[in-house]
Amino acid sequence: MSGKKKRPLVPRLRFPEFREAGEWENEKLGDVCNVLQGYGFPEVLQGKIKGKYPFCKVSDISRAVAEQGGILCKASNYIDDEELIQLRAKPLPTGSTVFAKIGEALRLNRRALTATECLIDNNAAGISAKNSFADNYFIFLLSQLIDLNAHCGGAVPSVNKSTLESIRVVIPSHREQQKIADCLSSLDDLIAAQEQKLEILKRHKKSLMQQLFPAQDEESA
């Protein structure tokens, strides 16, 4: 025996009503989430800019993280029910967490939360909470603490369904998950509001500069 003391499965900061609720549970990700697979996206079906379902590539996930605070609600490509049947595909439910599962994009550990039913291509994967075990927004937050680089190998980093399902996670009761999700979601809303104000100020500054300076015409020099 090494004599190493086991760390208690509780966070350093906890809401008052849960301080006596005991330790969080150590579970496999596959026990609390459904792991969702992507689909091959034939080039002949690509290029439609409007439709019922966004068909999201890794680039769309990255764009959602960079520009939409991680909320994935649109893509560069769309399909309708006809193509869905042709692909024999099932849309991911709203509230799924999606991410790259292969290549350099995996190393970046970016996560996005789907705001609508959508599909992902086969370079991505998703997880969706099993209703009786977990809250989707809590899973989205929790996923950002999982370093997929620690779970992949080979010259080209990748993770598959069984690897994702076997990742160990520590989670509290559904009620405590919801409390955490509500708290951090309100902060996300505040951040989004401040970013919007900042963007308005930037546009206002640009407008003032255009009015406070005469036109810079190189030919008049």
Instruction: Tell me if 41 is assigned to some domain.
Output: yes
Mean pLDDT of 85-113: 95
Instruction: Tell me if 1 is assigned to some domain.
Output: no
pLDDT of 3 reads: 54
Residue count of the chain, please give it.
221
Q: Which of 87-91, 118-122, 207-211, 216-220 has the lowest mean pLDDT?
A: 216-220
pLDDT of 207 reads: 92
pLDDT of 1 reads: 44
Instruction: Tell me if 142 is assigned to some domain.
Output: yes
Burial 176-208 (b: 16+ CB within 10 A, else e): bbebbbeeeeeeeeeeeeeeeeeeeeeeeeeee
Q: Domain with 119 in it: what CATH number? A: 3.90.220.20
Instruction: Tell me if 14 is assigned to some domain.
Output: no
Instruction: Tell me if 94 is assigned to some domain.
Output: yes
Whether residue 61 contacts residue 98, with contact meaning beta carbons closer than 8 Å, is answered with yes
Task: Indicate if the pLDDT at residue 128 is higher than 90.
Answer: yes
Quickly list H helices, the chain: 29-32, 58-67, 81-87, 104-107, 136-143, 161-166, 174-212
Instruction: Tell me if 194 is assigned to some domain.
Output: no
Residue ranges making up the domain that contains 91: 23-173
Question: What one-character DSSP code corresponds to residue 45?
Answer: G
Instruction: Tell me if 112 is assigned to some domain.
Output: yes
pLDDT confidence of 154, banded at 50, 70, 90? confident
pLDDT above 70 covers a percentage of the chain that reads: 95
CB-side exposure of 111: number of CA atoms within 13 Å?
Answer: 20
Task: Indicate if the pLDDT at residue 7 is higher than 80.
Answer: no
pLDDT of 16 reads: 95
Task: Indicate if the pLDDT at residue 173 is higher than 70.
Answer: yes
Mean pLDDT of 79-94: 95
Counted domains in the chain = 1
pLDDT confidence of 216, banded at 50, 70, 90? confident
To 5 degrees, how large is the angle CA 63–CA 66–CA 70?
85
Instruction: Tell me if 209 is assigned to some domain.
Output: no
Query: 128 exposed, middle or buried (CB, 10 Å; 0-12, 13-18, 19+)?
Result: buried
Tell me the per-residue pLDDT of 22-79, one tens digit each, with 9 for 90 and over: 999 999 999 999 999 999 999 999 999 999 999 999 999 999 999 888 999 999 999 9
Which has the higher per-residue pLDDT, 215 or 214?
214
CB neighbour list of residue 156: distance below 8 Å, 6 or more residues apart: 102, 103
Residue 32: CB atoms within 10 Å? 20
Task: Indicate if the pLDDT at residue 153 is higher than 80.
Answer: no
